[in-house]
Chains A and B, each alone.
Chain A
Amino acid sequence: MKLAHKDLLRLATVGSVDDGKSTLIGRILVDTRQLFDDQLDAVAAASERRGVGDLDLSFVTDGLRAEREQGITIDVAYRYAATPSRKFIIADCPGHVQYTRNMATGASTADLALVVLNVAHGLKEQSRRHLVIAALLGVRTIVVAVNKMDEVNWSQSAYQSIVDELETLAHELRFEHVTCIPVSALYGDNVVDVSKHTPWYEGPTILSALETSDAGSWTTTNHGARLPVQWVLRQPGGGRTYAGMLNGAPLSIGDTVTLLPANVTTTVTSLDLGGTSLDRATTGLSIDVDLEAETDAGRGDLIATEPLPTVTKDFTATICWFGESPLQVGQRLRLKHTTKVTPVRVATLSGVVDIATLSIGAATSLATNEIGLATLQTADPIVVDDYRDNRVTGSFVLIDEVTNATVAAGMVGRASFL
């Protein structure tokens, strides 16, 4: 048997607690036969022991003891599924507001958000919060499972009313591809198999929507190649090459590149992947390159092609704050951006996002899980793109200097919907 080459789609579940995200993922995995017999037996045994019916599908991903005791998702579970043409990496994210940092962890690498809504509950504040975060993180494609249709007797009007509300928000948040699907994750309707209960619905099932969405859709290729230098490899004979993961546009031997922040323009003379030479590399590959000019480049520098990114020590950004105590103006933290770590200070806080209205209110601090706009000043220059142009060179995290905990996700610039 020859196994075909597959592409890779990363997706994250998004939505409020108890709307059925974990159950939906469990249903997808069971109905596509991705679970082994012993894993299914273990889920059945755990369901019986905890008195929650024959097969609690949420136990497929809620694997921690505390999660099963409380019937909630605390942290992201990663699950894998494959169809003949595609490998899926599924991040099943928690819905509780207190675990928003974990939801952001799962969504930050997603190409697509699988939004789960409870048809009977309308669009809850927590669902809105998750959609705002997914949009901020650069997700452009959403597949919306309008769940628990069995509890409203498969009512088309109930479905249509939540879809109208969702589509208004999705339009405001500038999602580019929105597919809404009436489902029952519990019974499997329109998840993998077409439902008998929705003759009025003619769109795809969840699985076929996931199979036909663009993979790697957040990768922009029209804003230049970006190679953050991770490590300098010493070559036999005394030369050096610069290793890192390429993103953005492809890079080829002979390309004119600029080393930043030094601002040295030179040419790519060789390109390798793990000891194998390439003529050309594309986004996501861990390559090492040699440059024509003699440079003393090192970790934290950036090799880029036109249009070039910005070298700055002072920039505006959108911040999702996860720290336990509020973020204050003047606060000092550590910033990690690409392969560069530098001290940073919050110069100004210019606003906090109201999740309900998407308006910006005045802010003097940011509480846990609030989203705000800030100006940051770094000790060393960093080389950035706007997050909308490049997800790698436009993103950073803030780190507590004492505990080393990651306390914020940051995006350079300001989303167009804010």
Chain B
Amino acid sequence: MRTDTLQAPFMTDHLDLLESHAMFILREVVAECERPVLLFSGGKDSAVLLHLAAKAFAPQQLPFPVLHIDTGQNFPEVLAYRDRYVERLGARLLVAKVQDSIDQGRVADPGPLGLRNRLQTVTLLDAINEYKFDAAFGGARRDEDKARAKERILSFRDAFGQWDPRQQRPELWQLYQGKVNPGEHLRAFPLSDWTELDIWQYIEREEMELPSIYFAHERDVVLRDQMWLAVGPFVVPRPNEKVERLQVRFRTVGDANCTGAVVSSAATLGEVIDEIALANVSERGATRADDRFSETAMEDRKREGYF
């Protein structure tokens, strides 16, 4: 966090305005809702969100807990980062495990190497029910996907957790209204208007720490479905796959078995920003297997209650 005293006149740029808008949304939802929660994956977007939440309520503690939906298929570096970050802030961490949903028969077991990303929706909705959360902050950005581009900053979910893109509440000016009836909830997206580049520039400006896998490192990878997947407990090379050792980094952080690495030598924040500014493939296009199933994969998942 910056600690210098800013000189008058304070010139605002786009990052200042995005930051203040996000802080405003965080405060507004906390003021209007009874039991908010912040969804934290350890990825860069939710890390920025948590940083903004700390700023919005400084010097007080966060007035809500942090929830991680744990698929059990994480990168170990990300889990370590999660614990370090939450401890530094003194925040209360809740973990809801997809494995528990599988054990309880709430979702079908996809097998030890199967994709669990879509199963998270059930675990998330069950956790929201169990803790009676009426608002969940998420780090989703509208530039990530064409369905997210359509979503309100405060997005209403019915008693089944569903999003209806045809019946969104009007959202005028900055009059975010967060009132819901029991059983319903809101998803709140303070980073809606941020782009991937804004996120990285902000991380650099605020001198934030990130999980090491965002920066170039050497790793054993296999090429599967046109993506480099990191060899590990959840990605076992198949007979026809050749293991290669490459210098890679991750542009997004999701499950280890559906998040592709990009070949990169960008080892510092500055180098990552240069790389992003020149990229010709979107971050989800480059790195997410789960968005490739159909034209409206994200819309379909969101309708069910996904992040």
Interface residues of A (CB under 8 A from B): 1, 3, 5-8, 36-39, 42, 45-46, 49, 61, 63-66, 68, 74-80, 82, 87, 89, 101-102, 104-105, 108-109, 230-231, 233-236, 243-245, 250, 252, 273-282, 284-286, 299, 322, 334, 336-337, 339, 341, 391-392, 395-397, 399, 404-406, 409
The reply to whether A274 and B56 form a contact with Cβ atoms under 8 Å apart is yes
12 inter-chain pairs at a CB distance below 8 angstroms, sorted by A residue, are A8-B13, A49-B295, A66-B165, A78-B150, A276-B5, A278-B8, A279-B5, A282-B10, A284-B17, A285-B12, A396-B175, A404-B181
Stretch at the interface among B72-80, B236-244, B276-284: B276-284
The interface size bin for chain B is 35 or more
B125 within 8 A of A: no
In the complex, are the beta carbons of B177 and A336 less than 8 A apart?
yes
Instruction: Tell me, in angstroms, the Cα distance from A341 to B175 when the chains sit together.
Output: 10
A252–B10 Cα gap in the complex (Å)? 11
Q: Is the CB of A77 within 8 A of B13?
A: no
Most chain B CB atoms below 10 A, which of A252, A274, A409: A274
List A contacts of B152 (CB < 8 A): 105
Docked pose: A105 CA to B173 CA in angstroms: 7
The one of A7, A231, A245, A280 that contacts B13, using a Cβ cutoff of 8 Å: A7
Q: In the complex, A285 Cα to B264 Cα: how many Å? A: 37
Q: Are B28 and A339 in contact (CB under 8 A)?
A: yes
Expressed in whole angstroms, the minimum distance between the Cβ of A316 and any Cβ of chain B is 19
Apart from A5-B13, A63-B150, A78-B142, 9 more pairs, CB < 8 Å: A6-B14, A42-B295, A64-B146, A87-B198, A233-B59, A274-B56, A276-B1, A336-B175, A406-B177
B177 touches A236 (CB 8 A): no
Q: Are A285 and B277 in contact (CB under 8 A)?
A: no
A39-B285, A282-B12 as given contacts; A276 in contact with B177, CB under 8 Å: no
Expressed in whole angstroms, the minimum distance between the Cβ of B124 and any Cβ of chain A is 22
A42 and B299 alpha carbons, distance in the complex (Å): 15
What 0/1 pattern do residues 241 to 276 of B give for CB contact below 8 A with A? 000000000000000000000000000000001100
B59 x A235 contact (CB < 8 A): yes
Task: Name the interface residues of B25-56: CB closer than 8 Å to any CB of A.
Answer: 27-28, 30-32, 55-56
The residue of chain A having its C-beta at the shortest distance from the C-beta of B178 within the complex is A404
- Nearest residue (CB) in B for A245 is B24
Q: A3-B273, A276-B4 are in contact. Are A286 and B149 (CB under 8 A)?
A: no
| Interchain CB contact (< 8 A) of A276 among B6, B12, B180, B192 | B6
The answer on a CB contact under 8 Å between A79 and B282 is no
Residues in B neighbouring A250, C-beta threshold 8 A? 9
B227 contacts chain A at the CB level, 8 A cutoff: no
Q: Which residue of B lies closest to A10 (CB)?
A: B193
Assess whether B201 is interfacial by the CB under 8 Å rule.
yes
Nearest B residue to A236 via CB reads B59
B174 in contact with A278 (CB, 8 Å): no
A-B complex: 4 closest residue pairs judged by Cβ atoms: A63-B146, A274-B55, A38-B285, A286-B23
Tell me the bound Cα distance from A285 to B24 in angstroms.
Answer: 9
Which of chain A's residues have a CB closer than 8 A to the CB of B179?
334, 399, 404
Q: Given A8-B14, A406-B177, do A105 and B171 touch, yes or no (CB 8 Å)? A: yes
